[in-house]
Amino acid sequence: MTKQQGRKTPELVCPAGTPSALRVAVDAGADVVYCGFRDETNARNFPGLNFSRAEMAEATEYAHKRKAQVYVTVNTFPQAGKTDLWRKAVDDAVGCGADALIVADMGLASYAAKTHPDTRLHLSVQASASNPDAIKYYCETFNVKRVVLPRVLSVTEITALNDEIPCETEVFVFGGLCVMAEGRCLLSSYATGKSPNMNGVCSPAGDVRYEQGKDGSMDSKLGVFTINRFAESETTGYPTICKGRFKCGGNTGYIFEEPSSLDALSMMPDLLQSGVAAFKIEGRQRGRAYTEAVVKAFRKALSDYARGWPVKTDALIALAEGGQLTEGAYKKTWR
């Protein structure tokens, strides 16, 4: 029996880009809400999004009164000469009452572990730690209590990993998918000079342009690149290069990955058996309508599963990027 199998149900860790979304998530049944400050210290540094210090303190109080927790993401990589911004984010998160810090950078993990030894430290997916040696290193060196696993592992691999590491694991169960190189992707940086790793934003909106054609088509452009052209009848995706459609070898198609969202509802029994401690929903950049719908669907699914009832698996298609859902690497068939 693995260390997590004693848990009845895993924590449901839900996204919030605004205080309003946090309240919605808590009221919809989130055990934990994760969010970040309104600057480049977190990987969803979008205009109009995120929390001021005062909002974070109020949000944490709101969550705690309702028995929910707040994890604060400080999960970009500090830039040379600007490390104070990231350290202050760590200090302020603790001051606001955060129940855990989610970090990716080793230097920041070291600072947090030394400066705030009583605050739980979680390793962000951006650290891309996906093997026992890497995870053990973070646990032993920085007292990391939980690692958010990159979306590259099958359920079998997650089960095996859980038996070998001394900390909890958290896995994504719904939302946007990266091109399987989290924390190491340079596509956005190549096209725009900005990346989620350093600036907290993939394909920054300031570099994105949409052009509507007279025939109902739509071009999406990132920097100087046209990355997709959607016919009038087609659903669209995010304006990221990894979801772009390109001419290659005489064919036109999605050479990295198709626009689609991860949905692990159908994999829930297997993931529960794998020993993970928490289910994470992606989407701090999404609206509160998304937050409410996804949190409710997963809360109900966990409840139905616990009662031995069938889990409804097609509830969230309307929220999917490109109108498509995938089980991603959890049901990996390509290796």
Partner 1 sequence: MKKDQQRLKFLEPAVRRVFCAVLDAHPEIVDRLDDYAASRIRIDVRDAPFCMVMQVSKREIGVYRRDAKVKSDARIGGSFMTLLKLAEGGGDGDSLFFSRDIEISGDTEAVVALRNALDDSDMNIVRESLAAFGVLGLPLRICYRVFQDMRPLVAGMFAP
Q: Which residues bind partner 1 (CB under 8 A)?
A: 17-21, 46-49, 204-206, 208-212, 218, 230, 232, 234-238, 259, 285-290, 293, 318-323
Minimum separation from the CB atom of position 150 to partner 1 (A): 23
- Name which of 234 and 304 has its Cβ closer to partner 1: 234
- Name which of 17 and 196 has its Cβ closer to partner 1: 17
Does residue 143 contact residue 121 with C-beta atoms inside 8 Å? Answer: yes
Cα R_g (the chain), whole angstroms: 19
SS3 32: strand
- Name which of 35 and 108 has its Cβ closer to partner 1: 35
Minimum separation from the CB atom of position 33 to partner 1 (A): 14
Minimum separation from the CB atom of position 38 to partner 1 (A): 9
Minimum separation from the CB atom of position 133 to partner 1 (A): 37
- Name which of 108 and 316 has its Cβ closer to partner 1: 316
Minimum separation from the CB atom of position 263 to partner 1 (A): 14
Does residue 241 contact residue 227 with C-beta atoms inside 8 Å? Answer: yes
- Name which of 152 and 208 has its Cβ closer to partner 1: 208
d(CA 179, CA 208): 19
Minimum separation from the CB atom of position 128 to partner 1 (A): 25
Q: How many CA atoms lie within 13 A of 76 on its CB side?
A: 27
d(CA 64, CA 215): 52
Helices (H), the chain: 19-28, 53-65, 83-95, 106-115, 132-142, 155-162, 187-192, 196-199, 268-273, 288-306
- Name which of 20 and 131 has its Cβ closer to partner 1: 20
For 311, which DSSP code?
P
Q: Please classify residue 173 by burial: count the beta carbons closer than 10 Å to its beta carbon, then call 0-12 exposed, 13-18 middle and 19+ buried.
A: buried
